[in-house]
Amino acid sequence: MRTINKVAAVTTLFWFMKIVATTLGETLGDFISMTLNLGYTVGILITLFFFILILSVQLNVKKYIPAVYWTVIIGTTTLGTEISDFIDRTLKAGYLVGSLLLLSGLLTSLFLWYKKYGNLEVYPIFERNKEFYYWTAILFSNSLGTAFGDFLSDNLGLGYMTGALITGFIILIVVLLHYFTKINHVILFWIAFVFTRPFGATFGDLLTKPLAKGGLDLGTVNASLISLALMVLMILISQRKQKKELPFQS
């Protein structure tokens, strides 16, 4: 029986797309809640509706479709931005508490995934149930990354550029560990996946925030359009690469 993979392979292009998707999610989330002045509660409802809608499409397609898959990733990053800001600014819990809550959610989802399947392999994925665990863990990791990035830049007062440099440095260390050590690649994947989110979050803030706060003052609309253009370009590249490859079979 032929089974076809549903998710993206972890390649260099994957990580570039993940970073741009997280930046887009940050700027889109801020556009909805702050630029449109809809607030974080309404922002969560809007982004949750979009996430559920596109996730239902992803779960029902029969193979990996780059445009659908990466739209779900963008959905998790946008919703993650709203969740993080809701915990901090509406519930007044703060980014540190929010980070700890979301870390608990991520570890719980990974534990349940491992308990059911005996591994945390993220590629290939064929089963819908396993894919559900996959997307749950991704949503928690992107929400956690948002809260942690804001914790670095706001609570610790490091500024957006410094926060981006710190998280970028951590990602570089993970890459070096991947190539030069025998540390489990799945563990390194999830560490990198979490930290690409604060990198994208702090970079998104760097693009949008006023000059007085250490940003480039491009605004959420311009920053979102730039990130969206880059994302569309890379999705097209991913689709062209996929057409040259045979579907993963078992």
247 DSSP assignment: P
Round to whole Å and give the CA distance between 21 and 24: 5
* Residue appearing with tokens 């990053």: 77
- What is the identity of the amino acid at 182? K
* Residue appearing with tokens 């992107």: 142
Cα angle 96, 102, 108 (rounded to 5 degrees) comes to: 140
pLDDT per residue rounded down to tens, the chain (250 residues): 457 899 999 988 999 999 899 888 888 888 888 888 888 889 899 999 999 999 999 999 989 999 999 999 999 989 988 888 888 888 888 888 888 999 999 999 999 999 999 989 999 898 889 999 999 999 998 888 778 777 776 777 676 677 778 888 888 899 899 888 888 888 899 888 888 887 877 777 777 777 776 677 788 888 889 889 999 999 999 988 877 665 444 4
- Global pTM value: 0.88
Round to whole Å and give the CA distance between 83 and 78: 9
H helical segments located in the chain? 12-30, 39-60, 66-85, 94-117, 128-150, 160-180, 185-208, 219-243
Asked if 38 and 86 touch (Cβ cutoff 8 Å), the reply is no
Round to whole Å and give the CA distance between 113 and 98: 23
185 phi/psi in degrees, rounded to 5: -70, -25
pLDDT value of position 246: 52
Write down the domain spans for the chain. 12-243
Round to whole Å and give the CA distance between 34 and 224: 14
Round to whole Å and give the CA distance between 68 and 74: 10
Over the stretch 177-203, which tens digit does the pLDDT of each residue have? 988 888 888 889 988 888 888 787 777
